[in-house]
Amino acid sequence: MRRFLASLRDGVGFDILLVGAAMVFLIAMAGLPLIYNVLMSFQQVDMFTLGSLIRPWAGFQNYIDVVREPAFWLVTKNTFIFVFFSMGGQFIIGFALALFFAQNFPGASTIRGLFLVSWVMPGLVVGAIWSWILAGDFGVLNTILKGLGIIQSNVFWKSDPAFSIWAVVIANIWLGLAFNMLLLSVGLAAIPRDLYEAAELDGANAFQRFWTITLPMMRSTIGAVLSLGLIGTLQQFDLFPAITEGGPANTSTVAQYWSWQMSFQLYDFAKGATISVMMLVLVLIASIIYVRSTRHEVRG
Amino acid sequence: MTRPYVPWLLVVVALALAAVYLFPLYWMYVTSFKSGSEIFANPPTFWPREIDLSIYPNVWTRRTMHVFLWNSTLIAAGVTAITVIFGTGCAYVLARYRNVWVDIGLFSVLMLQVLPASVMVTPLFVAFNQFGLLNYPRTAVVLAAAAKAMPFFVVLVRATFMTVPRELEEAALVDGNSRVGAFFSIVLPLARNGILVCAILTFMSSFGEYIYSKSIIQSPALQPASVGLSGFLGPNSTDWNAIMAYSAIYVTPILAVFVLLQRRIVSGLTSGALK
């Protein structure tokens, strides 16, 4: 017993205690619920069996029911639009800004830091602001676009089925842009300057330097940023209740919001769990890419 | 001769980009200063014709914001406390060793970091229901949100611990300190700034926590400010100056802290996020 206590105070037991406390907490609050979620997706869960662990077995019935939902393919399509265009917009604009702020001018890092404001703001507040900017009749975005001559009449971003998912995409690009830019800036700063000088002496123009030096040197950073972008986009929830609530007629519902609606608005916990298990597969793919692309840095 | 002017041109462009990017924030404040009729002016006014601040006390009392903000503070403080207490030690150990167990630990922490809250909320709700934790909804939210916040904290704080020289800790051990003593009197004080920045980041992000609170807390007296905002926000909202005033009251403290600590936050993120 004394040896055990001594090890806790002054040996490897101290390390195990520190890691173990965190791991027990994380397993209880994240690991077990995850397994429980998979279990629930194979059970019949309703108001009567909600309080018991052993419920009637449902097999793959929940999965079949979810796929047969009328909204299923629409939600799948929306999820892909949301993920693909949010990531694309965040990455391209973020990369352009990162390249711009990598130029040497006074105040570059301070002004760049201002962009991170969006990252600390509550998602729901960001959603509220964009909901107001995107409003159909009195929204300022329509006024600006009309002033620039891009559109002739008001676009009803939130209530037009053709635009509702794009309203959330626009807000999400704004929200995730700063983080993309910051990570890409870190990658850019790590490229040795003399590579560019050598290329310039050899007569490479700016486009060639970007294509043959910047992009290849940034490969692992880009992999990490894209997979983090996928993860972040799949985690994005707050914008939906704030801007469109998934409407009109599910045209802006994505998987994560649909799963929540099933559980907490229709109280169909089995379907909610089933949809989130389906999403989990996507998340796992993203995180494997992420871990692979940061592996050497993680070990470092 | 044009060379000296190029950097200043870049500064102007940079400021213009920042202004475009921060326009939504400006629009939030400006809208909250407008009167109820001016927000529906067509075309919208980019500077209020007359500044009308009466909406602020109005929203504060009508929406019982002191209750909501107090709950937000409680929840964020609870999440931060749990995250710092459990996460710091974990990050320290993960930074101290390099072997296959540390790799496995880091991998599982990263895996937990990527789980969307919207995936976790269904099983957590059902499980909390079974354990009776739903009778203490704020505690339940704190536990759930702390598990969500901790992986990110561990990854960032681990990077801070990696910058503390091993030799200092070894010297303390040679001088007769125990591992516990060396940890608390040498390593922790040296990593204090990094831990503090990460704790503030955790606090700020859980101050805006929405999905767990919305799903778990039913009683309005216990809900945080995010749920309070969602109560009068939807696709068909019209009282936009009230919503924007509520948002402004909600985020101004966060923005103030961010502007004060901007440099530290950015450097903390850049050192930890990718490594």
Query: Phi-psi category of B13—alpha, beta or left, where left has phi over 0 and alpha has psi -120 to 50?
Result: alpha
Residue of B nearest to A40 (CA): B123
Please indicate whether, in this complex, the C-beta atoms of B273 and A182 are within 8 angstroms of each other.
Answer: yes
Q: What is residue B8's predicted lDDT score, i.e. its pLDDT?
A: 85
Chain A with chain B: Cβ pairs closer than 8 A:
308
Q: What is residue B119's predicted lDDT score, i.e. its pLDDT?
A: 83
What's the complex ipTM?
A: 0.88
Please indicate whether, in this complex, the C-beta atoms of B123 and A40 are within 8 angstroms of each other.
Answer: yes
- Highest mean pLDDT of the ranges B27-41, B148-162, B243-257: B243-257
Q: What is residue A182's predicted lDDT score, i.e. its pLDDT?
A: 86
Give the pLDDT band (50/70/90) at residue B272. low
- Alpha carbon of B237: minimum distance to chain A alpha carbons (Å): 9
Share of chain A above pLDDT 70, in %: 97
- Alpha carbon of A12: minimum distance to chain B alpha carbons (Å): 9
| DSSP helix/strand/coil, B52 | coil
Domains and CATH numbers, chain A: 71-299 (1.10.3720.10)
* A298 touching chain B per CB within 8 A: yes
Contacts of B150 in chain A (CB under 8 A): 22, 25-26
Contacts of A143 in chain B (CB under 8 A): 43-44
How far, in Å, CA of A260 to CA of A247, rounded? 14
Residue of B nearest to A45 (CA): B126
Q: What is chain B's length?
A: 275
Q: What is residue A294's predicted lDDT score, i.e. its pLDDT?
A: 63
Which residues 6+ apart lie within 8 Å of A212 measured at CB?
Answer: A199, A204
Mean pLDDT over B54-80 rounds to: 91
- Alpha carbon of B94: minimum distance to chain A alpha carbons (Å): 8
Query: Which portions of chain A are predicted below pLDDT 50?
Result: 298-300
- Alpha carbon of B49: minimum distance to chain A alpha carbons (Å): 16
Contacts of A130 in chain B (CB under 8 A): 24
Q: What is residue B155's predicted lDDT score, i.e. its pLDDT?
A: 84
- CATH number, domain B69-272, options 3.40.50.720, 2.60.40.1930, 1.10.3720.10, 3.10.20.520: 1.10.3720.10
Residue boundaries of the structural domains of chain B: 69-272
Q: What is residue B4's predicted lDDT score, i.e. its pLDDT?
A: 62
- Alpha carbon of A234: minimum distance to chain B alpha carbons (Å): 7
* B268 touching chain A per CB within 8 A: no
Contacts of B125 in chain A (CB under 8 A): 263-264, 269
Q: What is residue B271's predicted lDDT score, i.e. its pLDDT?
A: 63
Beta bridge partners of A57: A43
The CA-to-CA distance between both ends of chain A, in Å, stands at: 37
Tell me, rounded to whole angstroms, the distance of Cα A257 from its chain centroid.
13
Q: What is the pLDDT of residues B178-222, one digit of tens each?
A: 888 888 888 888 888 889 988 998 999 899 999 999 999 988 889
> For B210-246, b where at least 16 C-beta lie within 10 A, e where not — what string?
bbbbbbbbeeeebbbbbbbbbebbebeeeebbbbbbb
Residue of B nearest to A12 (CA): B179
* A190 touching chain B per CB within 8 A: no
Q: What is residue A296's predicted lDDT score, i.e. its pLDDT?
A: 54
Burial of A115 (0-12, 13-18, 19+ CB in 10 A): buried
Contacts of A286 in chain B (CB under 8 A): 114
Contacts of B22 in chain A (CB under 8 A): 114, 117
Q: What is the pLDDT of residues B116-158, one digit of tens each?
A: 888 889 889 888 988 888 889 999 999 999 998 998 898 888 8
Please indicate whether, in this complex, the C-beta atoms of A117 and B124 are within 8 angstroms of each other.
Answer: no
Give the pLDDT band (50/70/90) at residue B85. very high
- Alpha carbon of B144: minimum distance to chain A alpha carbons (Å): 6
* B25 touching chain A per CB within 8 A: yes
Please indicate whether, in this complex, the C-beta atoms of B235 and A53 are within 8 angstroms of each other.
Answer: no
Which residues 6+ apart lie within 8 Å of B156 measured at CB?
Answer: B194, B198, B201, B268, B269, B272, B273
3-state helix, strand, coil in chain B (%, to 5): 80, 0, 20
Give the pLDDT band (50/70/90) at residue B24. very high
pLDDT above 50 for B1: no
pTM (whole model) above 0.90: no
Contacts of B178 in chain A (CB under 8 A): 9-10
Q: What is residue A295's predicted lDDT score, i.e. its pLDDT?
A: 60
Mean pLDDT over B79-94 rounds to: 93
- Alpha carbon of A143: minimum distance to chain B alpha carbons (Å): 7
Give the pLDDT band (50/70/90) at residue B275. very low
